[in-house]
Amino acid sequence: MLGLSRSQVHRLLQAYDLAGADGLVSKKRGRASNRRHSEDFRNLVLDLVREHYVDFGPTLATEKLLERHRIAVSKETLRQWMMEAGIWVSRRERKKRVFQPRGRRDCFGELVQIDGSHHWWFENRGPKCALLVYIDDATGKLLHLRFAGSENTFDYLHATKAYLQQWGKPIAFYSDKHGVFRTTHASQQDRTSGLTQFGRALYELNIDIICANSPQAKGRVERANQTLQDRLVKELRLRGIDTIAAANAYASEFMADFNRRFGKEPRNPKDMHRSFAAHENLDRAMCRKEVRKLSQALTLRYDKVLFILDPTDLAKTLAGNKVVVCDYPDGRLEITHEGTSLPYKTFDTLRSVHRSEVVENKRLDDMLALVAEMQAGREQQRSQSGPRRTGQTDHMFGIRDGSTANGYQKRGTKPGRRTDFTNDPVVIARRQQALAQLKAAE
């Protein structure tokens, strides 16, 4: 009945006769296991965790101890050690959260969730930036990651173009109601008039975009962001990565490891990504497009720059008609009509206004030399509301605006602005010196 052998029952009976009920207790109770790690080994592991992995979870810390220190320890053993040392809090002690489950899609590429996560990805080693995340709903695999200075239209166009080149066209993207994806001025008559630039680009490629009503609705990418803010930050720290360019170079390696650990197999093996049709132009679609009316003089204005079309036979027939200005994420600008590119030259209408100096007409040489030096460094400010990206080629001057190491502008600085020498103390002093010399000569 007890499931014990006859000799064992005799031993228990003898122990009961000698010590009563206490004799039935196992002699191993309260004694350390023969396979227990020594205190020195336990202290060594905890010291390494406190020094390098104090904010790591037990599972990730176990992996890093094996990869970086060649120390093998069970994750459950490490979990107990970390809880006893006050480094880790068990799930039972955390506040429980309630989530309403939603089933995954059946096929790979059927629904791709996208989101931007603003975070201190480089901790105190670099600036705060955004990570654009593309994750498949059916498999939970990361399909594309891109670090950017901010969550804006041009970076989403650049990232989406790279995604489409690698995987093809999904059935739909699933996003939040960020201004990049959704406009509040939709039209009931024309479907395309109410689209954002990003939505218009997807519409041209026959890709739908669905906006979620709450963060919980697109929980797949939100949960992935939490994991990335834990694991990716620490991987960047361990590798000493502190720039956006270096992080983008490492992203593919991290995605491969992430998908190997956390990716799931879809219920249906069919890949729903589609190839591009013959009439679809990926490069021409992934840009900012503005419609402008061409004057009788074959000119148009965009971003406070006057564009003058070359008087070709085609351009002459378009006077008074509408053309499309294509502003690409890499800084290129193209003027097209029905898919045909129109050559042009620019004429900058911005002129800095300042009060002229009073100079005698026979003493102009020195003043003109000073004015020429000032004009060489004078600011030519573009429209602050225009679609400017730091690092893009200036439409008028063919130079690049002041940019950060990754080619994108730091937040809080005005776009398209170069150094202004008008109020520079050195320039003012030289101007006053020149005027004094002119007056002395007079």
For 322, the token pair is 């509408």
Residues in the chain, total: 442
132 contacts 114 by C-beta, under 8 angstroms: yes
- Going by C-alpha positions, the residue among 103, 99, 154, 104 that lies closest to residue 132 is 154
CATH number listed for the domain at residues 107-271: 3.30.420.10
pLDDT (tens digit, 9 = 90+) per residue, 250-303?
999 999 999 999 999 999 999 999 999 988 999 999 999 989 999 999 999 888
pLDDT (tens digit, 9 = 90+) per residue, 331-369?
889 999 988 899 999 876 555 445 555 555 555 566 666
Burial of 232 (0-12, 13-18, 19+ CB in 10 A): buried
Domains in the chain: boundaries: 6-27+36-93, 107-271, 282-348, 361-441
pLDDT (tens digit, 9 = 90+) per residue, 118-130?
999 999 999 999 9
Residue 404, pLDDT > 80, answer no
**pTM for the full model?**
0.64
Rounded (10°) CA dihedral 314, 320, 322, 325: 70
